């Protein structure tokens, strides 16, 4: 038997509207008042825009917006920041020369990229101490990198100085983050890559490297020559010093001997002036006229001379200095 009773139509009466509003309110409260925090996250609760509490992992309930608002942060996740390059959505890396080109301490240009790892250490400070903490972090990284690279040579930036550069950048970043206190912790800083910016600079750098190697070779040859010549020079110097000391000792001994002799002569002369004077006179005559006997009369005048060593083939000759003729007769 067919049912001819008319179907009930839904009408927006007062009761239905109330039920709809209650249902919408329940859905809204559930959707905005229940939140889930993962294991590596923390949630910061704000009540009317003011910090209220921090919750850990799990399912939590809060008052609906706009009474309370929740911000979930990845506090345990290691995040990365690149300087000088970036990776697009397809995984391809692109260079950003505006950030990577830097001037070294020896006034050269180097293209150097950095990779930094960091994480949120304090969610409250991360949210409320600054408006854009990641932008501040990037600016601090750029300033630290340029400050450190600006004190290094191009050799350090391209070769063996990378490890020192990244350590100094990390230390400087830690100091600056401690001063700014934005709730971020630096985990690691690496020099990802460094190279001369253009081929002309690369060629100049190779020339510099060649010159540096030649300089090292020249220094090594000079050191080898020095090591070979230095012992010989030291030996010669020691020999000259010893000869000089021996000569000095001999001259001092000779001078002391002469001094003692003169003092002895002086003392003898002081005690016996006449005898000493005559003896000195005779010594001088003996040196001046070797082989001659000099006879001095009582007046002090030289009157006769005789050979000190008579020749057997000759008769002794006695000459009278005052009478040459008698001397000649005596010779006949």
Q: Among 135, 211, 143, which residue's Cα sits nearest to residue 175?
A: 143
- At 322 the pLDDT is 44
Cα–Cα dist 73/157, whole Å: 36
- At 241 the pLDDT is 93
- At 137 the pLDDT is 94
Burial annotation 238-262 (CB, 10 A radius, 16+ → b, else e): eeeeeeeeeeeeeeeeeeeeeeeee
- At 317 the pLDDT is 41
- CB–CB of 42/55 below 8 Å? yes
Q: What is the mean pLDDT of each run of 10 residues along the chain (332 residues)?
A: 52 68 74 83 90 88 83 90 86 82 83 92 91 92 93 87 92 92 92 77 70 88 90 90 92 91 84 83 77 58 51 44 42 38
- At 7 the pLDDT is 52
- At 99 the pLDDT is 86
Q: What angle do CA 300, 303, 307 make, to 5 degrees?
A: 115
- At 5 the pLDDT is 53
- At 328 the pLDDT is 39
For the whole model, what pTM was predicted? Answer: 0.52
Torsional class of 291: left (φ above 0), alpha (ψ -120 to 50), beta (otherwise): left
User: How would DSSP label each residue in 262-317?
Assistant: HHHHHHHHHH-HHHHHHHHHHHHHHHHSTTEEEEE-TTS-EEEEEESS--TTS---
Cα–Cα dist 71/17, whole Å: 34
Cα–Cα dist 173/114, whole Å: 13
Cα–Cα dist 159/319, whole Å: 107
- At 116 the pLDDT is 94
- At 135 the pLDDT is 92
- At 298 the pLDDT is 57
Helix residue spans in the chain (DSSP H): 14-33, 97-100, 123-128, 133-149, 154-158, 162-180, 199-271, 273-288, 324-331
Cα end-to-end distance, the chain, whole Å: 211
Cα–Cα dist 212/107, whole Å: 17
Q: Among 281, 323, 332, which residue's Cα sits nearest to residue 304?
A: 323
- At 194 the pLDDT is 83
């Amino acid at each position: 038997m067919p049912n001819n009773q008319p179907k009930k139509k839904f009408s927006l009466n007062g009761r239905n509207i109330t039920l709809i509003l209650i249902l919408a309110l329940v859905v809204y409260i559930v959707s905005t008042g229940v939140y889930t925090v993962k294991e590596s996250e923390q949630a910061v609760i704000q009540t009317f825009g003011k910090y209220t509490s921090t919750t850990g992992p799990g399912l939590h309930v809060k008052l609906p917006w706009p009474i309370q608002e929740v911000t979930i942060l990845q506090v345990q996740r290691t995040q990365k920041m690149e300087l000088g390059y970036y990776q697009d959505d397809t995984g391809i890396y692109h260079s950003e020369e505006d950030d990577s080109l830097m001037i070294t301490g020896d006034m050269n240009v180097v293209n150097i990229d950095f990779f930094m790892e960091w994480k949120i250490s304090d969610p409250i400070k991360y949210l409320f101490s600054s408006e854009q903490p990641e932008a501040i972090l990037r600016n601090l990284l750029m300033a630290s990198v340029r400050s450190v690279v600006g004190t290094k040579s191009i050799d350090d930036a391209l070769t063996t100085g990378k490890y020192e550069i990244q350590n100094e950048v990390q230390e400087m970043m830690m100091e600056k983050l401690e001063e700014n206190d934005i709730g971020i912790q630096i985990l690691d800083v690496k020099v990802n890559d460094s190279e001369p910016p253009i081929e002309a600079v690369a060629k100049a750098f190779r020339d510099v490297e060649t010159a540096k190697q030649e300089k090292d070779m020249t220094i090594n040859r000079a050191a080898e020559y020095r090591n070979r010549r230095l012992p010989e020079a030291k030996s010669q110097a020691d020999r000259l010093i010893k000869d000089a000391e021996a000569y000095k000792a001999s001259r001092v001994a000779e001078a002391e001997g002469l001094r003692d002799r003169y003092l002895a002569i002086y003392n003898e002369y002081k005690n016996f002036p006449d005898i000493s004077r005559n003896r000195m006179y005779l010594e001088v005559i003996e040196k001046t006229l070797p082989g001659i006997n000099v006879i001095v009369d009582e007046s002090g005048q030289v009157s006769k001379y005789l050979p000190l060593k008579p020749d057997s083939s000759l008769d002794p000759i006695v000459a009278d200095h005052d009478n040459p003729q008698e001397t000649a007769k005596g010779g006949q």
